Structure 1
Amino acid sequence: MSLYTAIATSDGRDKRAVSSDGRLDVKLGMQKELGGDGIGTNPEQLFAAGYAACFASAMQLVAKRQNVDAADASVTAEVSLDANDEGGFTLGVTLRVELPDHLSGDAGRALLEATHRVCPYSNATRGNIPVELVVE
């Protein structure tokens, strides 16, 4: 049973992306590193923003279940676009998580690992692309 389905349409990496409800309407732009003008956002930035937001929300859910206060935590997602050996491309992700001081060490690492098992982005990428969890 689906809890929610997001729908978006795009006509290319350097054009536009629009959600079916119109709430998302962004100009896309090819990165300068890929030969574009760098104007507009790109799919990797959108994926990074989505993953960071999703992981942060999942962490709040897990923290609540564990009776832990993680209200001041934040997540930065770094999404790399890499060439593969077959002439195509792959993604890689580093999630940098800033935790409150009381969640340093093993408690913080345990929270991140539990969150990584709950987050839908983590579950979707597991086994497909490398995801590194970094506590900062």
Structure 2
Amino acid sequence: MPVDVIYKTKATSTGGRDGHARSEDGSVDVNLVVPKEMGGPGGEGANPEKLFAAGYSACFLGAMKAVSGKVGVKVPADASVTAEIGFGPRSEGGYGITADLTIDLPGVDKAEAEKLAKAAHEVCPYSNATRNNVDVGLIIA
């Protein structure tokens, strides 16, 4: 599926999961640390799963705002999305991730929130990138 690209950015990582990552403009500049659960030292620093969680949660909230008019559900100013990303071995070999998105829409009826989340899941670039490859759960808080 071709994409009509309207924006591009770059980030460079060195050292792998135990290194450093920086965006081309320096707005993202993080040390990377392997979590203890994955055999690393743990401690302060980010990892690819944390970065993915931040990106997916922000993008999904943006997608809800983008479709809110179409589905007739207003996104409250204090809305939030929390992405929980899991990492582990796949039965087919290699490693995979899971994603659970907890959607908090204060004051919005649960059925309406589910309608909005479902519509956002159809247009969110992260949802489209993971569809049929990552188990994504949509949870209404």
For structure 1, the 5+ residue unaligned runs are none
Q: State the identity as a percent.
A: 47
**Who is 1:35 aligned against?**
39
The answer to whether the aligner puts 1:95 opposite 2:95 as a matched pair is no
The correspondence of residues 1-136 of structure 1 with structure 2, limited to 5 A, is 1-11=4-14, 12-39=16-43, 40-71=45-76, 72-101=78-107, 103-136=108-141
Q: AA paired with 1:28?
A: L
- Cα deviations by residue, 1:54-80 (Å, 9 ceiling, x for unpaired): 001111111134443212211000000
- Cα deviations by residue, 1:87-132 (Å, 9 ceiling, x for unpaired): 410000000001122x222211100000001111001100111101
Q: Which moved more, 1:84-93 or 1:120-129?
A: 84-93
Q: AA paired with 1:46?
A: L
**Aligned CA-pair RMSD:** 1.3
Q: TM-score, normalised by structure 1?
A: 0.93
Q: Secondary structure at the match of 1:51?
A: helix
Kept after mapping to 1: 8 A contact 2:61/2:80: yes
Question: Size of the alignment, in residue pairs?
Answer: 135
| Alpha-carbon separation, structure 1, partners of 2:73 and 2:112 | 9
Q: TM-score, normalised by structure 2?
A: 0.89
